[in-house]
């Protein structure tokens, strides 16, 4: 088991990828046992390298932390948000079928739309990509996660 410092990212306060690995088996079992949908939303800061080069590490950390705060504030208490990589977040949405997941993706995209024009937490454009997938009992979860992450990396910038 992790201590609080092992499960929380220092910049964002979100759960870490290591903690995701710790809890996902238990959550998948719960979803299977109760026949509930489990959706994954991947949010990628698409221009993190450019932001780092033009605005610096502090501005990049501010944008990352604010993106995390915005995501966390816009999921339900039963959902979880993880910092997956330096430029990527994963949201686990419990009891969210494909339609509910699509509504959540639209909502997240709307929240971040003004950031691309420099109207976010830093006076520089912050461009995000969002991908999503929904797990059902006939699909291997690793494939669902991979599909959401690939979709986020391939999507048009929000």
Q: Look at residue 137 in the predicted model and tell me its pLDDT.
A: 60
**Side-chain-side CA neighbours of residue 11 (13 Å):** 20
| Domain range list for the chain | 4-154
Q: Look at residue 138 in the predicted model and tell me its pLDDT.
A: 52
| CA 112-102-30 angle, 5° bins | 110
pLDDT tens track for 3-54: 455 899 999 999 999 999 888 888 888 888 888 888 999 999 999 999 999 9
- The CATH architecture one would assign to domain 4-154 is 2-Layer Sandwich (3.30)
Tokens at 101, concatenated: 């997941």
Q: Look at residue 1 in the predicted model and tell me its pLDDT.
A: 44
List C-alpha distances in Å: 97 to 27, 51, 81, 82, 120. 15, 34, 17, 20, 30
Whole-number Å distance between alpha carbons of 6 and 38: 25
Q: Which residues contact 28 (CB under 8 A, 6 or more apart)?
A: 38, 135, 141
CA gyration radius, the chain: 15
Q: Which residues contact 10 (CB under 8 A, 6 or more apart)?
A: none
């Amino acid at each position: 088991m992790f201590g609080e410092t092992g499960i929380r990212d220092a910049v964002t306060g979100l759960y870490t990828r290591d903690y995701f690995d710790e809890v996902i088996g238990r959550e998948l079992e719960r979803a299977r046992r109760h026949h509930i949908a489990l959706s994954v939303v991947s949010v990628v800061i698409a221009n993190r390298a450019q932001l780092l080069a033009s605005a610096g590490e502090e501005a990049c950390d501010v944008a990352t932390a604010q993106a995390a705060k915005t995501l966390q504030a816009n999921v339900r208490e039963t959902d979880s948000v993880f910092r997956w990589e330096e430029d990527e977040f994963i949201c686990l949405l419990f009891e969210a079928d494909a339609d509910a997941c699509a509504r959540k993706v639209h909502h997240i995209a709307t929240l971040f739309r003004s950031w691309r024009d420099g109207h976010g937490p830093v006076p520089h454009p912050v461009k995000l990509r969002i991908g999503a997938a929904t797990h059902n009992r006939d699909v291997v979860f690793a494939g669902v996660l991979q599909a959401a992450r690939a979709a986020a990396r391939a999507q048009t910038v929000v």
